[in-house]
Amino acid sequence: MLNKFRLLTPGPTPLPERVRLVLARDMIHHRKGEFKEIMAQVQVSLKTLFGTTSTVLPLSCSGTGAMTAAVYNLFAPGQKVLVIEGGKFGQRWREIALSHGLEVESIVVPWGKAVAPQAVEAALKADPSIAGVLIQLSETSTGVLHPVEEVARITRNSETLLLVDGISAVGLSPCPMDAWGVDCLLTGSQKGLMLPPGLALLALSERAWACAEKQTPGCFYFNLIKEREYVHKGQTLFTSPVGLILGLKESLDMLLENGLRALYAKQWALTMLTRASLTAMGLELFAKKDFAWGITSVMLPDGVDGVEVLRMAQEKHGVSMAGGQDHFKGRMARVGHMGWVDWADVVAGIYALNDCLCSVGGYCGSRDYIEQGLAAYRAALAGEPGEPLPLVYNS
Amino acid sequence: MLNKFRLLTPGPTPLPERVRLVLARDMIHHRKGEFKEIMAQVQVSLKTLFGTTSTVLPLSCSGTGAMTAAVYNLFAPGQKVLVIEGGKFGQRWREIALSHGLEVESIVVPWGKAVAPQAVEAALKADPSIAGVLIQLSETSTGVLHPVEEVARITRNSETLLLVDGISAVGLSPCPMDAWGVDCLLTGSQKGLMLPPGLALLALSERAWACAEKQTPGCFYFNLIKEREYVHKGQTLFTSPVGLILGLKESLDMLLENGLRALYAKQWALTMLTRASLTAMGLELFAKKDFAWGITSVMLPDGVDGVEVLRMAQEKHGVSMAGGQDHFKGRMARVGHMGWVDWADVVAGIYALNDCLCSVGGYCGSRDYIEQGLAAYRAALAGEPGEPLPLVYNS
């Protein structure tokens, strides 16, 4: 009763009441009229969100399912792909590609850094047989934002397809796929889209569709060509995750209510809030230059047991944040500011983190770290100089 | 306002309010304590429902995803399987097996009939290299119940694995997998389990696990060995469909409240109600001898436009039923009595069907077709002679 529970992880995220009430609706049939109408409405909104005129496919699986679907439908075993590996999800691209019998070349980027577009350019120049570049927009394990727009400038003038895992980015920071020249953009329902997990969304460019048309899909369950046929009839190939599709209609209505600019401006301001506050606490931001807009990763002071700090934050303050993964386990906090989260939730998370750091190590940030965060938030919303909202929109 | 909407299709099904309220809950994290506890509780109930001591895996996909997972994890390309093809979902087994490079032999059974166990025995005797038999317990497209217990008596004494698609059967009619000797039992969330679609459940026998351990999974997204490791930690390999798992806890609590016998007795009685009523209407039941306990398929009179009849039933009476598939489109009605449906809902469906048949063709059943159905329902519940509840239980 003392604290509300606040979920500040990089997915799943808190859900709006409007969406939760829709999720409580009784079932309708996935091959009949009302559902088809909702599928058509969702399609319009998804195209806006993805910045594309292509069909956006809803798939009944997690984000990893959509990554698998992309690789298994766009490439044939034996083809070569270039993977940008700067974290756990870059590694996942590699594992998926290898499982499909692809030859994999990797650009290994230190965790916390973004790939240099020049490195991609050089790799493609050195080996023009590379059929695809596999990258994250936001690398959830590090909070890094990779320069997808710049990489797309390189790939779109070549034969190489650019596949973008936008799982922790779509609905949080811009990725207008047609304008940038992205060939595959995919996401999951449990991040920017303010839904429970279990639904993935995937769109292909025209030239990616042409590739898919030439392939036999590597897995029966993921058949993008057939899925597209069904989506054009307002259905999905196999049984639709009906509840999540109904919820998606509601969440997209909310996300697009004030336009994409307002959506991204909010995320940018929350990011500024988080970064300014954590910096004022004297902590070291992990993604220094190229950072995601839905998650902020921060190094914890040496000697502090990060697992314990995050456990305390939940127990004492009701705030659930994520820790570091793999070799950063116990040394990092990842503060999610995605989904149905506003500035006050983020302040609660930052306060909890500071308080627990003080408890375990006698470590305390500067007295006004919250006010510094809020000042940055206000400045970002007002468009004041400093780190203005990058003006990349598709509408 | 005149009619409530009643969903009497063979999935999705109506959901209980208790489940719907859980589905409206805010998110929790899928790698943390509360979720792990729920996963552990769900595991206990699932083992009871599946009649097994093996782990039951929750997968983030539709039922077809689970069918794919089974085939891609248990067999290597080049192996041979025997498919029982007596409807649309038997065909799906064949398509999945072919997509994985398996050699497929089929026993084609006329739609509406169950396979003869002797035919399976003869096929396995003729070719001992057959590595698996792929069958439906309930073939959703025809309403037929295949004799899985008898087929398992044959396979369990051989090297051949028996894979059972229980998508429209689990939670509706018994399939105690350990007692019968079933090697793989799978289902989807949107039928007997009273949940929205988007979650599949799959269990393997010990010898099936031994096969899976020897295989490289044919699709990255479906890795049963790794899923099992995660389930033992109260998690899933990739992001869990959190909302559906929370809902599953609630629906399993309801389903098992009075034991499996009560659960199946209800389904048997609903089936008796439906069959007696439709027969009294003068209609021809499609699955004559071996029928499912969650869906009843019935031929419509010659010359009647079945599509129009079902459209009217929805428009005039608020009842949504399914029609025939493929070559039975327009000639058949499939009345679902699964999920959160009771006798009065079924009566509503039967009344709607009779009324609409009268409207389009001047065709009317006997005056007391509803009372005949209800009499059969009462007799079944009371265990009166006639067609008593088959006593096959695992508890």
Residue A383: per-residue pLDDT: 80
Which of A153-167, A373-387, B106-120 is the least confident region?
A: A373-387
- Percentage above 70 pLDDT, chain A: 96
Q: Does A394 map to a domain?
A: no
Residues B83 and B217 in one domain: yes
Chain B nearest CA to A55, separation (Å): 21
Q: Does A33 map to a domain?
A: yes
Candidates A187, A193, A220, A246: best to mutate against B (most CBs of B within 10 A) is A220
Residues A214 and A292 in one domain: no
What is the residue type of A103?
A: E
Mean pLDDT of B17-37: 96
From B190, B239, B243, residue closest to A62, measured CB to CB: B239
Residues A51 and A138 in one domain: yes
From B197, B221, B242, residue closest to A68, measured CB to CB: B221
Per the structure, the complete domain to which residue B314 belongs is given by 6-12+258-382
Residue A393: per-residue pLDDT: 37
Mean pLDDT of B212-240: 97
Are B30 and A12 a contacting pair at CB < 8 A?
yes
Rounded Cα gap, residues A290 and B150, in angstroms? 62
Residue ending a domain, among A185, A220, A255, is A255
Are A220 and B24 a contacting pair at CB < 8 A?
no
Q: Does A98 map to a domain?
A: yes
Q: Does the pLDDT at position B337 exceed 50?
A: yes
Q: Does B342 map to a domain?
A: yes
The per-residue pLDDT for range B4-21, each reduced to its tens digit, is 999 999 999 999 999 999
> Contacts of residue A168 in chain B, CB cutoff 8 Å?
none
Q: Does A390 map to a domain?
A: no
> Contacts of residue A238 in chain B, CB cutoff 8 Å?
62-65
Residues B92 and B196 in one domain: yes
> Contacts of residue B68 in chain A, CB cutoff 8 Å?
219-221
Over chain A, what HEC string results? Answer: CCCCCEEECCCCCCCCHHHHHHHCCCCCCCCCHHHHHHHHHHHHHHHHHHCCCCCEEEECCCHHHHHHHHHHHHCCCCCEEEEEECCHHHHHHHHHHHHCCCEEEEEECCCCCCCCHHHHHHHHHHCCCEEEEEEECEECCCCEECCHHHHHHHHCCCCCEEEEECCCCCCCCCCCHHHHCCCEEEEECCCCCCCCCCCEEEEECHHHHHHHHHCCCCCCCCCHHHHHHHHCCCCCCCCCCHHHHHHHHHHHHHHCCCHHHHHHHHHHHHHHHHHHHHHHCCCEECCCCCECCCEEEEECCCCCCHHHHHHHHHHHHCEEEEECCHHHCCCEEEEECCCCCCHHHHHHHHHHHHHHHHHHHCCCCCCCHHHHHHHHHHHHHHCCCCCCCCCCCCC
Q: How does residue B391 score in pLDDT terms, banded at 50, 70 and 90?
A: very low
- Is A261 annotated as ligand-binding? no
Residues A308 and A366 in one domain: yes
Residues B243 and B314 in one domain: no
Candidates A15, A36, A60: best to mutate against B (most CBs of B within 10 A) is A60
Are A239 and B9 a contacting pair at CB < 8 A?
no
Can you give the CATH number for the domain in which A32 is found?
Answer: 3.40.640.10
Q: Does A388 map to a domain?
A: no
Mean pLDDT of B45-66: 98
Chain B nearest CA to A27, separation (Å): 6
From B14, B28, B241, residue closest to A198, measured CB to CB: B241
Which of A133-137, B177-181, B319-323, B366-370 is the least confident region?
A: B366-370
Length of chain B: 395
Residues B246 and B301 in one domain: no
Can you give the CATH number for the domain in which B317 is found?
Answer: 3.90.1150.10
Residues A238 and A289 in one domain: no
Cβ(A199)–Cβ(A57) below 8 Å: no
Residues B267 and B342 in one domain: yes
Are A27 and B5 a contacting pair at CB < 8 A?
no
Are A7 and B20 a contacting pair at CB < 8 A?
no
How many domains would you assign to chain B?
2
> Contacts of residue A61 in chain B, CB cutoff 8 Å?
60-61, 65, 221
Rounded Cα gap, residues B146 and B164, in angstroms? 10
Residues A95 and A24 in one domain: yes
From B197, B217, B242, residue closest to A242, measured CB to CB: B197
Q: Does A1 map to a domain?
A: no
Candidates B8, B30, B31, B61: best to mutate against A (most CBs of A within 10 A) is B61
Q: Does the pLDDT at position A129 exceed 70?
A: yes
From A25, A221, A240, residue closest to B197, measured CB to CB: A240
Residue A365: per-residue pLDDT: 72
Q: For residue B327, how many other CB atoms are within 10 A of its CB?
A: 9
Residue A166 tokens read as: 């936008």
Mean pLDDT of B155-180: 97
Chain B nearest CA to A303, separation (Å): 24
Cβ(B85)–Cβ(B92) below 8 Å: no
Q: Does the pLDDT at position A142 exceed 80?
A: yes
Contact pairs from chain A to chain B, CB under 8 Å: 172
Residue ending a domain, among A255, A288, A313, is A255
When the pLDDT of each residue in chain B is averaged and rounded to a whole number, the result is: 95
Residues A266 and A219 in one domain: no
Residue ending a domain, among B209, B241, B256, is B256
Are B65 and A238 a contacting pair at CB < 8 A?
yes
Q: How does residue B393 score in pLDDT terms, banded at 50, 70 and 90?
A: very low
Q: Does B212 map to a domain?
A: yes
Residues A189 and A317 in one domain: no
